[in-house]
Amino acid sequence: MNYDRELEGQAPLATPLNRLFLGNPGTGKTTMAQIYGRVLAALGFLSDGAVELKTPSDLTGSVIGETAEKTAAVIDNARGKVLVIDE
């Protein structure tokens, strides 16, 4: 669709790269995230394409203000990669 829009002189539509993989345990969500990371890296959207696998406990803190710091650190570490927050 964006190709056609560009041919017509229109601006391309923004395409968010965030995805949500839902399913029962063992259905391949993490595997799909790895494949998605390789695709995005091959297209030049990601510098690395590796998968950072985190759990909610990696993002939350036990004292006030610690959650924001931990979350920011996880996001900074995942730049250029695929961030998976698993249940």
Give the number of domains in the chain: 1
pTM value?
0.69
77 in any annotated domain: yes
56, with CB counted inside 10 A (0-12, 13-18, 19+), is exposed
Predicted pLDDT at 71: 92
Rounded to whole angstroms, how far apart are CA atoms 41 and 50?
Answer: 9
10 in any annotated domain: no
- pLDDT tens by residue, 68-86: 999 999 999 988 888 888 8
63 in any annotated domain: yes
41 in any annotated domain: yes
Where in the sequence is the domain holding 40, given as residue range(s)?
Answer: 28-87
Rounded to whole angstroms, how far apart are CA atoms 1 and 12?
Answer: 8
Give the chain's end-to-end CA distance (angstroms, integer): 35
8 token code pair: 């017509």
86 in any annotated domain: yes
12 in any annotated domain: no
